[in-house]
Amino acid sequence: MDLTPLDIIRIAIGLAILLYVTNCILNQRVWIRKTFSWGTKEEYPKIFQMNIVGGTLIGIFLIVGPFLF
């Protein structure tokens, strides 16, 4: 299977998203655009959970996608 430059970009973006998710989990913080600062898990529990679940799913899809299609 040959990877096109677009596939390599997709994989890189997926890895960047997964690195962000890892950073959020390790530091128990999430980036809040409303205040343009980091917020703790306790202050924004729903946003934290959506970032972890959504970021993980999107990151995995971007990484695995070129190999499936």
- 30: tokens are 């999430």
Please give the torsion angle defined by the CA atoms of residues 12, 18, 23 and 28, in that order, rounded to the nearest 10 degrees.
160
What are the tokens at 68? 């499936």
pTM: 0.89
Q: Is 13 helix (H, G, I), strand (E, B) or coil?
A: helix
| 6-46 residue pLDDT tens | 999 999 999 999 999 999 999 999 999 999 999 999 999 99
pLDDT band for 66, please (50, 70, 90 cuts): confident
